[in-house]
Amino acid sequence: MPAKKLAKKKPKHKQAASGSASSPSAKSKTPSTWRARIRMYRQGLGDCFLLTFGKEHPKHLLIDCGVILGTPNPAAKLGPVAQSILDETSGEIDILVITHEHLDHLWGFHEKMAGKTFDQIKFGQLWMAWTENPKDSLANSLRKSRQQMEEVALHAAARLKETSIRMGPGVNSSQRLNTMAKRIEDVLGFRGIDSQNLGLAQKGQARQNATSVAFDHLKERIPEKTYFQPGTGPFPLPGVDDVRFYVLGPPRSAEQLQKSAVTKSDDVFGLGGGALSMADSFLAALKTHGVETGATSEGGQPFERGYRQPPRATSVRALRATIQYDDPQQAWRQIEEDWLATGEQIALALDDATNNTSLVLAFEFITTGEVLLFVGDAQLGNWYSWDDYTWRSRATQGETEKVTAADLLRRAIFYKVGHHGSHNATLRQKGVERMTSSNLVAMIPVDINVAHNIKGWMRMPLESLIKRLSEKCACVIQLDEAEKVQGALNGRVQVSPTKLFVDYFV
């Protein structure tokens, strides 16, 4: 928990140039009174939110800054964002929140992107989830699990490419294997691993992970760090009298952290599945062989116990079966290469597991009870876990009252839509339908051009989710279409003259 209030800061930088957020022309459009300003930067498919509490003596809180791998000219897009943040905050930000270790939330801090500009900013505190705590044994176990899944996905992609080369060009199977390898590379891009790094782990060489490089740099730079546990709070927001915050996620249950795949019974807006995939079995085998995540692996085993052979055959019958399996004439029985088809699902599982470690914060205005909800890229297991917690808070009259996740969502007047509007990142009945305020505003950090035309994610954002948000919200602000709602809510939604960001004044 952040223990100290931060001292008032002296400005170090001049006001931003004309046409930016701090220019007179931009200020003349803003409402005369506001409690908080939520600024969503428009660098592309990725999160970057600057929260400012208080107009006279502002306190700044930055949540993430990144863009997806594959974005054209990412440094050219992230550079102006970092400069704008530097100018707007006069080089001092009270709190930096990193929700989770993905490139579209962290790449801006990398030295090859906008890291040098961010290094000019003094950050008072760094907030992270407990999953980043090097002293937490479960966090370390989960980190080891993610590393092993990453190695498997890398190995699968490399083997797919090697097999494709052996087949030769022009062969349909070869093209299919190359396509599978490319999809694995795309998913690994969330971890900051590009195609040039595929296969290096097998050769014992060091592999650069852009997200880890950027994150480690921030951890070294900012001495005051806090790792938040779920279900804790409410805590006072340092330096802001009428705001406190609750920590909803990520959960400490390994089973909930691994819950991302949508089944028919899940409380979502569509795209339900349900069948056990080969990837489930393979991941279960990983858990069986030393990945201690606390989840059971029996449900993912491909064969019942009576049909499984130990690694070393101990009976004549088992030995005979092993010899037959290894016989070149019986190659059609072997499944040595079949697991390569699961490489993409394993990479996706790695991606989902990281998303589910997102730090989820609910900021509450104490006087009114209104809530601002920031969920990072939290997926199903993270959302489901919130009902496991009950908070105790002091009401304005002084009495103590019980607070649940349902209470917080009911009072939400702002929702940062999870994972760019993905199908498994917003619950329905226990999510959107609980948000009943007539003043609800949603911000969606998504760039459809990048999602559809560059990444091929044709269901991002999910149409049924967008439709329901449009029905429930007073305003839905989409990153790439913010001009459509310019001036909405009596002028409280404003796009900057440079179109670099959109502001919502609460």
DSSP state string for 134-197: TT-HHHHHHHHHHHHHHHHHHHHHHHHHHHHHHH-TT-HHHHHHHHHHHHHHHHHGGGT--GGG
Interacting residues of 433 by C-beta distance below 8 A, sequence separation 6+: none
Q: What is the pLDDT of residue 455?
A: 86
Q: What is the pLDDT of residue 264?
A: 74
Residue 502 φ/ψ, nearest 5 degrees: -130, 135
Residue 364 has pLDDT above 80, yes or no: yes
Q: Tell me: the pLDDT tens digits for 185-198? A: 766 666 666 544 44
Q: What is the pLDDT of residue 343?
A: 60
Q: Using the Cα atoms of residue 155, residue 300, residue 285 and residue 308 in order, give the sign of their dihedral.
A: negative
Q: What is the pLDDT of residue 335?
A: 54
Range with lowest mean pLDDT among 31-35, 115-119, 236-240: 31-35
Burial 459-478 (b: 16+ CB within 10 A, else e): ebbbeebbebbeebbebbbb
Q: How confident is the model at residue 143 (pLDDT cuts 50, 70, 90)?
A: confident
SS3 367: coil
DSSP 438-462: TT-EEEE---HIIIIIIS--TTSS-
Q: Tell me: the pLDDT tens digits for 264-295? A: 778 878 655 544 444 444 555 444 444 433 34
Q: What is the pLDDT of residue 392?
A: 92
Tokens of 306: 């009576």
Residue 39 has pLDDT above 50, yes or no: yes
DSSP class of residue 273 equals: B
Angle at 148 between CA 142 and CA 150, to 5 degrees: 105
Give the separation between CA 233 and CA 321, rounded to whole angstroms: 59
217-238: average pLDDT: 97
Q: What is the pLDDT of residue 238?
A: 94
Range with lowest mean pLDDT among 211-215, 312-316, 443-447: 312-316
Q: What is the pLDDT of residue 390?
A: 97
Q: How confident is the model at residue 82 (pLDDT cuts 50, 70, 90)?
A: very high
SS3 296: coil
| Average pLDDT taken over every residue of the chain | 80
Q: How many Å from the N-terminal Cα to the C-terminal Cα in the chain?
A: 26
Q: Tell me: the pLDDT tens digits for 304-318? A: 666 665 555 556 666
278-288 vs 343-355: helix crossing angle, rounded to 10 = 70
172-188 vs 343-355: helix crossing angle, rounded to 10 = 10
Pairing of strands 243-249, 360-365: antiparallel
Pairing of strands 49-53, 36-41: antiparallel
Range with lowest mean pLDDT among 113-122, 178-187, 270-279, 378-387: 270-279
Q: What is the pLDDT of residue 20?
A: 36
Residue 101 has pLDDT above 80, yes or no: yes
Q: What is the pLDDT of residue 6?
A: 42
DSSP 7-55: PP----SPPPPTTSTTSHHHHTTS-S--SEEEEEE-SSSS--EEEEE-S
**Predicted TM-score (pTM) of this structure:** 0.78
